[in-house]
């Protein structure tokens, strides 16, 4: 029996024709109908947005929504087909469910979970999750990064230069050692067993990550099995720093 952490609604199979203007994707459904779906992913989706790829769409029941379909999954790797989750609105929702179930033994001694907490030197940033427990325990600042870029079985983040991601690393580092700071990489595909910073796309990010780890930043590269049925937690990937 699969321990689904998240279940997808009924999905519709199709073929990716093109993705454009970041938020739009033209899809040909099995019926032959061509629809424009919302692509909830602001990144370049390096390696996972090839025209001709098999995709899965969800459909909204809101009649007032301009785009009724949402791009949820893309299939990669012809030799060993693998579903990749591309809806970046989901990882934080799924991680919240995992935190409520205490699925990560590395994050012990917390009993209170709060999302989108203001922090940073200018108090203009928000950390994804703030975890606290009993008196005397250091609070945990937890940031989540959706990860779909890969080279073979090695998952990489980021897939492009990210000044926002660089800022997060600097701000998390500034919290140490008075607090615990954790970077959780949500590996949104099951074919990756290792994780490393994407030096080829953003060498500054890689340098900052290694520096933050030296200061005490904790890294959780979390693997997930993705299918049209749902999402299952598989455990940690091997960290390659």
Q: What dihedral angle (degrees, nearest 10) is formed by the CA atoms of 166, 233, 96, 87?
A: 60
Q: What three-state secondary structure class fits 235?
A: strand
Q: Which two tokens mark 237?
A: 């990937």
pLDDT, residue 111, reads 92
What is the model's pLDDT at position 23?
A: 94
Give φ, ψ of 154 to 5 degrees.
Answer: -100, 115
pLDDT of residue 230: 97
Question: For residues 56 and 12, is the Cβ–Cβ distance under 8 A?
Answer: yes
Answer whether the bond into residue 236 is a cis peptide, omega within 30°: no
The per-residue pLDDT for 1 is: 62
- CA–CA dist 116, 27 (Å, integer): 34
For 138, half-sphere exposure in the C-beta direction (CA atoms, 13 angstrom radius) is: 13
238 has which bridge partners? 194
In 10 A of CB 6, how many CB atoms? 18
Report pLDDT for 2: 76
Q: What is the DSSP letter of 30?
A: T
Residue closest to 190 by CA, chosen among 158, 222, 144: 222
Residues of the chain with pLDDT under 50: none
């Amino acid at each position: 029996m699969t321990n689904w952490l998240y279940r997808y609604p009924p999905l519709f199979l199709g073929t990716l024709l093109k993705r454009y203007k970041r938020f739009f994707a033209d899809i040909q459904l099995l019926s032959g109908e061509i629809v424009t779906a919302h692509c909830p992913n602001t990144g370049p989706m390096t390696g996972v947005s090839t025209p001709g790829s098999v995709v899965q769409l969800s459909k909204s029941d809101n009649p007032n929504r301009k785009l009724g379909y949402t791009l949820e999954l893309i299939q990669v790797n012809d030799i060993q087909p693998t579903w990749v989750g591309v809806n970046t609105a989901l990882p934080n929702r799924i991680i919240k469910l995992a935190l409520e179930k205490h699925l990560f033994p590395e994050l012990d001694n917390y009993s209170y979970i709060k999302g989108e907490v203001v922090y940073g030197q200018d108090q203009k940033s928000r950390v994804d999750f703030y975890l606290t427990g009993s008196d005397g325990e250091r609070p945990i600042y937890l940031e989540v990064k959706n990860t779909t870029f890969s080279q073979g079985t090695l998952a990489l983040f980021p897939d492009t230069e990210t000044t926002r991601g660089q800022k997060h690393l600097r701000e998390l580092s500034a919290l140490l050692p008075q607090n615990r700071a954790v970077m959780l990489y949500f590996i949104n595909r099951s074919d990756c067993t290792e994780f490393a910073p994407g030096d080829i796309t953003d060498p500054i990010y890689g340098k900052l990550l290694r520096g933050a780890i030296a200061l005490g930043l904790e890294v959780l590269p979390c693997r997930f099995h993705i299918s049209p049925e749902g999402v299952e937690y598989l455990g940690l990937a091997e960290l390659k720093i």
